[in-house]
Chain A
Amino acid sequence: MENLYSKTANELLQKLSQKEITLDGLVVSLNERLKNVYASVNAYVRFDPVRGLTVDKPEKDGPLHGLPITIKDNICTRGFETECCSKILKGFKPPYDATVVSKLKNAGAAIVDTKANMDEFAFGSSTENSCFGASRNPWDTNTVAGGSSGGSASAVASDAAIWALGSDTGGSIRQPAALCGVVGLKPTYGRVSRYGLIAFASSLDQIGPITKDVRDSALLLQYISGKDQFDSTSVDVPVPEYSRCLGMDITGVKIGIPKEYFVEGIDPEVKDIVEEAIQKLRQLGAQSARVSLPHTKYAVPVYYIVATAEASSNLSRFDGVEYGHRSRSKGLGMIEMYKKTRGEGFGQEAKRRILLGTFVLSHGYYDAYYVRALKVRTLIKQDFDKVFSDCDCIVTPTSPSASFVVGEKSQDPLKMYLSDIYTISVNLAGIPAISIPCGFTKKGLPVGLQIIAKPFNEEMLLRVAYAYEQATPWHAMKPKL
């Protein structure tokens, strides 16, 4: 008999609702799986192998019937640790739940009490910046899981989680999903409440699902979407029934293929696999056209100004007063206490980003860097507006390469930043995108296909992604662990 842990959320939900299985049985199954894989993938942090995973059982039954969900370490879960995988938040137990967590609890989900690994404060593309060490890719544990939601993606890919929440500021859901061979969706900015998501870049961050298939993605998105009185940037647009678009024909859907995403810098193997996937979409009835997003090459520099500026401001709250680490040095004045606490608590990448962000916002550099970046952001958004006046969606690779060996890029920040080159523009424009598995390299590493749609048209993403998924075998493949 197939193990419970290897099943999708929708399959398990059916079994739970018909009382074929129990939540306790499901947790036992997950723990059996974890016993074999936790050390090799390092997807969960603060995990005690003796105790195993436990879940916060829902107070009342609901449509999710106790289905366990894994949560990234930057999303607040009341009463159990949420540390953003940073030493500076050591021991932080939030006194409240993030809105996405309370929504899931209200729907009857069981929250897994051990959180998923991530790059410190979501700063990174490999989880190598986690204070708990890097998560590994289940397809080859010498390689990275991607990041920053690498723990969520490797947990789902290795069947150590049924499904998971991640967060995406410049690709942090889609890139690890692509590298681990699972499905990751970044909703439109404002679709999902950010209340209780520990902020990295407030104008870019979104929470979204990381799942084993597209049907699960639609289901999870359903339960986390909607306007929230605690997040003034969440938008009051009706939440459609996402599962309805699954199975809809894609005949006549107009797909734009941006030429700037297939030039120098892309791994030729990835290029071939993605072009084959586009061919498949054509066979399924979609029409494709070459389009242009001329400001693509400026997206990474714009991002590293806007995101670090916002991060430097957001991270000023970690000062050793209200929560987390405080320097033990004696006899410090207030300012020295702040400086020592922050110097001791933040990792290297966090320090780099705080410095860069503070610099671009500082007197004398503000106009040359920050304001200029905001203007180029307008041009990037206008590129998408133009393409979407004629196309229903855009299809690209999610990442220029498959997973890379641990340590390969960690000493070269700029090289690491460039691994997000295909995902960053989407956050700058605030639009939704999904990454789905579309094949494997000769070395057996997964490759992701990114589909991008107009604001609040997640249905288009799910419709095209589901049509592709049903016509291909990739999503059903499992790593040997």
Chain B
Amino acid sequence: MSISKETIEYVAHLARLELKAEELDTISGQLKEILGFIDTLSLLDITDIPATSHILPVHTVVRDDLPGASLTPDEALANAPQREKDFFGVPKVIE
């Protein structure tokens, strides 16, 4: 399957990733090649084969609801690029 530049631009938007024009050119060439290689999978008959998303059985783990130590606001916010009082600062979301 081939992948158009428009599709890559759309996927980049979904991934919230800004690409420069030259990056888009390079990456679309590379992705075409990689997808061409990946397409060898379409040669396989996979009828009735179950999907494996996790190699071990995954269980919902519950533990006793006991209070424990947690981060202080200062610790939790220490790495924030922008801090507003006890919150993470972000650009205005609603005009």
Contact with A along B40-51 (1 / 0, CB 8 A): 111010100111
Instruction: Report the minimal beta-carbon distance from A234 to chain B, rounded to whole angstroms.
Output: 10
Contact B15 A323 (CB under 8 A): no
Contacts of A337 in B (CB 8 A): 90-91
Contact B18 A354 (CB under 8 A): no
CA distance A337 to B88 in the complex (A): 14
CA distance A336 to B93 in the complex (A): 11
CA distance A246 to B76 in the complex (A): 44
Q: How many residues on the B side are at the interface (Cβ–Cβ under 8 A)?
A: 56
Residue from A189, A339, A340, A379 whose CB has the most chain B CB atoms within 10 Å: A339
- Chain B binding site: helix, strand, loop or mixed by DSSP? loop
- Smallest CB gap from A431: residue in B: B55
- Smallest CB gap from A321: residue in B: B88
Instruction: Report the minimal beta-carbon distance from A145 to chain B, rounded to whole angstroms.
Output: 24
Q: Which of the residues A297, A322, A359 comes within 8 Å of B40, measured between beta carbons?
A: A297
CA distance A150 to B27 in the complex (A): 25
- Smallest CB gap from B39: residue in A: A301
Q: Is B67 an interface residue (CB 8 A)?
A: no
Contact B81 A355 (CB under 8 A): no
- Chain A binding site: helix, strand, loop or mixed by DSSP? helix
CA distance A298 to B37 in the complex (A): 10
Contact B16 A339 (CB under 8 A): yes
Q: Which of the residues A325, A334, A356 comes within 8 Å of B91, measured between beta carbons?
A: A334
Within 8 A of B (CB), among A261-312: 297-298, 300-302, 304-305, 312
Q: How many residues on the A side are at the interface (Cβ–Cβ under 8 A)?
A: 69
Q: Is A3 an interface residue (CB 8 A)?
A: no
Contact A379 B49 (CB under 8 A): yes
Q: Which of the residues B13, B51, B58, B79 comes within 8 Å of A233, measured between beta carbons?
A: B58
- Smallest CB gap from A91: residue in B: B79
Q: 17 extra interchain contacts, Cβ-Cβ under 8 A, other than A301-B37, A375-B51?
A: A190-B56, A233-B56, A302-B41, A319-B16, A324-B79, A324-B81, A326-B82, A340-B18, A351-B23, A355-B8, A372-B41, A376-B44, A376-B46, A378-B51, A381-B55, A414-B34, A428-B55
**7 pairs across A/B with beta carbons < 8 Å?**
A203-B53, A203-B55, A301-B40, A304-B38, A352-B34, A371-B51, A375-B46
**Measuring CB to CB, which residues of chain B are less than 8 angstroms from any residue of chain A?**
1, 3, 7-8, 11-20, 23, 26-27, 30-31, 33-35, 37-42, 44, 46, 49-56, 58-61, 63, 71, 75-76, 78-82, 88, 90-93
